[in-house]
Amino acid sequence: MTFASGDPTTLLLLRHGETALTPEKRFSGSGGSDPRLSEVGRRQAEAAAGMLAALGPVDAVVSSPLRRCRETAEAAARLLELEVRLAGGLREADFGTWDGLTFAEVRDKYPDELAAWLASPAAIPGETGESLESVTRRVAWSRDKLLAQYTGRTVLIVSHVAPLRTLLRLALGAPPESLFRMELAAASVSAVSYYGDGSSSVRFLNDTSHLR
């Protein structure tokens, strides 16, 4: 993959704020309920919006279509005076029958299935869910589309744990298992820059300083 020379294209990666499921660390994918931000999550979204506005010019805001991301993106877009564009490729993974369960509950009820999912990106979670291989394909497609459209500019992406970890993993050239070794807190901000020679650089990861 190559990009035009000149200024880097920077993707600011914002995870959505908390929902009622977030503090309980429950699986919340694209195939289950579509929870809205909690009161805490709304405050987090406003705090992240202030931090992003202070970073400097942002040229576009692109969000997963799920409600928690749209609400988070709208808070940032208001301060940045931009409209929110939706991108289906940035939606969360579908966790099938695991949706709404905690990690511990999945481990107790589906130990073999969970072990397979942790070991292989081709494994299907929750019987009818989406493999991490599939997530990677659509996230990479969305990334390439944005890099072509916004070459040399800065784009805010509002998404979920699996897509954002995937963008960071691909930028680092890290193996699939690294997805489970990244912490991305609710309303955290990370950033990746892409350069004209095709290289990428993770500028920062999981910044939550605006939430303190």
Pick the catalytic residue from 18, 92, 113, 130: 92
Enter the tokens of residue 134. 């599939």
Pick the catalytic residue from 16, 18, 71, 130: 16
In angstroms, the first-to-last Cα distance of the chain is 38
- Residue 3, pLDDT score: 43
Query: At 62, which amino acid appears?
Result: V
Binding site annotation covers 203?
no
Q: Is 24 a catalytic residue?
A: no
Residues 6+ apart with CB under 8 A from 210: 47, 48, 50, 51, 187, 189
Topology of domain 9-95+135-211 in CATH is: Rossmann fold (3.40.50)
- Residue 33, pLDDT score: 83
pTM, 2 dp: 0.95
Separation between Cα atoms, residue 102 and residue 52, nearest integer Å: 31
Q: Report which of 13, 3, 6 is spatially closest to residue 191, judged by C-alpha positions.
A: 13
Enter the tokens of residue 23. 């503090």
pLDDT tens digit at each of 212 positions of the chain: 444 457 899 999 999 999 999 999 999 999 878 999 999 999 999 999 999 999 989 999 999 999 999 999 999 999 999 999 999 999 999 999 999 999 999 999 999 999 999 999 999 999 999 999 999 999 999 999 999 999 999 999 999 999 999 999 999 999 999 999 999 999 999 999 999 888 999 999 999 999 99
Q: Is 16 a catalytic residue?
A: yes
**Cα torsion 92, 154, 191, 69: sign:** negative
